Amino acid sequence: PGARDLDNPCRAWRDMVRLMCKDPRMRRLCLTAAIVSFCRTISIGNEGQFFVQALKLHQAERFVEVNMLRTVGGQLVVIPGFVLTGYLAMQNGTMKVLRCLIPVTALMLSMGALIKAVRFMWFVAVLEFFLSLTDLYEVPLSRLVTGVARPGKVGEWLSTLGLAMEVAKLLGNAFTVGIDTVFMINLHGLPLWWYYPSCGLLILLAALPILGTPKVPTGWGAAAGSRMEQLHTHLAVARAAKKWKTVVSARKQTATPPATPLTACYCSEACGDDGSQSGSGSSSAGESSEEEEPS
């Protein structure tokens, strides 16, 4: 950030939105992240209430038990899931893993409605195991953003991705509050199970922005893992390096070196040496002429 960014804090937000809209690759990745985040927020936002209603719990102690099963089950799955996803992305390509995770995320999110049929406390931990897998898409998505980011701008591009996800979550929470309010006022109740299959189908739309290749010289970049993308990236880097060398050599030929104090010092020393030598020559000639006069 520069001095103008410190004077105007809204400038950074404006730059993020501008980057999100102008760059074709960033626009696609942010749209994919926003769709998945929006659907996950709607479904998981009512998760605790839905489990309590489906299990027909009426004691506060049972509520605590449900929350413990949800929290512990998710934490035990997410950490090894992130490690495994990163390993698969390195082996098979980041873009390929991301495209495969979109339908997997939709399927895992739709399984939350099964608590309506299997009403047991232990099944809460099983469902939380599957629902926690819906977070794994963030690993290849963040890797792609860092791969297509410009040199020295990785932090700004990741911040733009986070901004898109947080805005989508905010809209998802607002949508949930509005729908729940309408159902509770008009229908005196809300069947929460339909959130899961509906959001699962909507997540499939997140695969549309990442289909194909953007019309840019480097495509999705070397981070995508495709051989063709890596070849395009290497060729683009070679062309950019060759062009930069040409520009630098042209500047060196046309530009004149400025006179530095060190160069001026060297010039003065050289002129002084020549003057002293010429002075000594003239003095020696004068002495010889003086010696010849008496004779």
Average pLDDT of 121-127? 82
How far from each other are the two terminal CA atoms of the chain, in whole angstroms? Answer: 87
User: What local confidence, expressed as pLDDT, does residue 101 receive?
Assistant: 92
Question: What CATH number has the domain bearing residue 67?
Answer: 1.20.1250.20
State how far the Cα of 226 lies from the Cα of 204, in Å rounded to an integer: 23
Average pLDDT of 256-277? 49
Q: 86 and 25 in one domain?
A: yes
- Any domain includes 25: yes
User: What local confidence, expressed as pLDDT, does residue 280 receive?
Assistant: 46
Is 2 a residue whose pLDDT tops 90? no
Average pLDDT of 64-78? 72
Is 165 a residue whose pLDDT tops 80? yes
Last residue of a domain, one of 207, 225, 243: 225
Q: 86 and 29 in one domain?
A: yes
Q: State the pTM of this model.
A: 0.68
Of 36-40, 129-133, 240-244, 247-251, the least confident: 240-244
Q: Which domain holds residue 263?
A: 256-288
CA distances to 14, 19, 157, 243 from 148, in Å:
20, 12, 9, 21
User: What local confidence, expressed as pLDDT, does residue 77 receive?
Assistant: 79
CA distances to 15, 63, 64, 158 from 68, in Å:
41, 9, 6, 32
Task: Give the burial class of 206: count Cβ atoms within 10 A of its Cβ; 0-12 exposed, 13-18 middle, 19 or more buried.
Answer: buried
- Any domain includes 231: no
- Any domain includes 249: no
Q: Which residue has the higher pLDDT, 147 or 263?
A: 147
Mean pLDDT, the chain, rounded, equals 74
Q: 221 and 177 in one domain?
A: yes
Tell me which residue of 31, 147, 25, 133 sits closest to 78, measured CA to CA: 133
Q: Which residue has the higher pLDDT, 116 or 63?
A: 116
Confidence of residue 234 (pLDDT cuts 50, 70, 90): low
Tell me which residue of 216, 210, 217 sits closest to 93, measured CA to CA: 210
Q: 159 and 13 in one domain?
A: yes
User: What local confidence, expressed as pLDDT, does residue 218 receive?
Assistant: 59
Q: What is the signed CA dihedral for 190, 194, 195, 200, rounded to 10 degrees?
A: 180
Is 9 a residue whose pLDDT tops 70? no
- Any domain includes 243: no
Question: If you search the block for the tokens 């500047």, which residue do you land on?
Answer: 251
User: What local confidence, expressed as pLDDT, does residue 54 receive?
Assistant: 72
State how far the Cα of 15 lies from the Cα of 19, in Å rounded to an integer: 6
DSSP notation for 65-120: HHHHHHHHHHHHHHHHHHHHHHHHHHHH-HHHHHHHHHHHHHHHHHGGGGGGT---
Is 276 a residue whose pLDDT tops 80? no
State how far the Cα of 32 lies from the Cα of 21, in Å rounded to an integer: 14
> If you count DSSP H runs as helices and E runs as strands, how many of each does the chain have, helices first?
12, 0
Q: 84 and 44 in one domain?
A: yes
- Any domain includes 33: yes
Give the three-state DSSP class for 209.
Answer: coil
Domain count, the chain: 2
